Structure 1
Amino acid sequence: MSSALKNLSDFTTDNLPDISDKTFAIVVSEWNTDVTHALYTGAYDTLLKYGAKEENIISAKVPGSFELSLGAQKMAQQANIDAVICLGCVIQGETRHFDFICQAVADGITNVSLKFDKPVIFGVLTPNTQEQAMDRAGGKHGNKGDEAAITAIKMLGI
């Protein structure tokens, strides 16, 4: 559902698994830092809120969203990592670059998840404008980082 119709920080927390002994990696893009830092804060705070320990949250920065797949793979291949959360933002421009990057990132993150049989979460915004990005990174539509963290937690319960 479009986030224009839904707050990304509204989700059900029924039957969440105990994550006190789980280790999470958050891989975050440095491109569009205002947005990605807000997404990171949302994900980090949500993990803590629902029982993760600070020492069990590992952070890794990558230059841009395209690099999220390799960053996720490097985290997922570590036996102690239970779930990986990928956070980025690709804003539509005037060229097809947007389309290629978004598709590559989606495919790459999916492939890492399947390869390592671990939750690898797509927390990448693909808005048309900077304003739309900020609306989804803690603004009027909530925070996609919150949603990505809850998704990781829920997937660990499957």
Structure 2
Amino acid sequence: MPFRRPVPDLQTLSAAAMSALLLTSAAKHFREPEFFHPVVPDFLCRDDSGGQPNGPLAVLSREEWVAVSGLLEATAAVGLLVPATRRAAAGCVTALFAAFLAGHVDALRKAYGPEGSPRRRRVHTLRLPLQAPLIAWAWTLTRRNRRP
């Protein structure tokens, strides 16, 4: 009798791929945090220079927001790999990607502003539309797995 390995279903493979993407991104948060600085909106960033506060949501510095989002991505990546937590983790990833939209819109607005550069315009023009398929992909993982 030949040994037959069970074939993972499509949702498991999709969750593993999303997990790999999130782990790669989380690692980049700590290796190159400055890459993520433009997508953290100013209204979320605490002003440590003694100037005017940026608002009631400005509780962390830009660097702290990047680190926290990296930790959230790493945690969600692990959650996607565990079948018992996959649906909840996928819902959290969907919300996380949706929340990131504000940062991407803000970064795009700044890229086309007076301080923007052609490179920043190109980067942020490409990054913003990528959020839609990521949100949709994460949302598909919130569905119950249907085996034939």
Please say whether Structure 1 and Structure 2 have the same fold, judged by a TM-score greater than 0.5: no
- Relative to the length of structure 2, the TM-score reads 0.30
* Larger CA Rg, structure 1 vs 2: 2
- Relative to the length of structure 1, the TM-score reads 0.28
More helix as a share of residues: 2
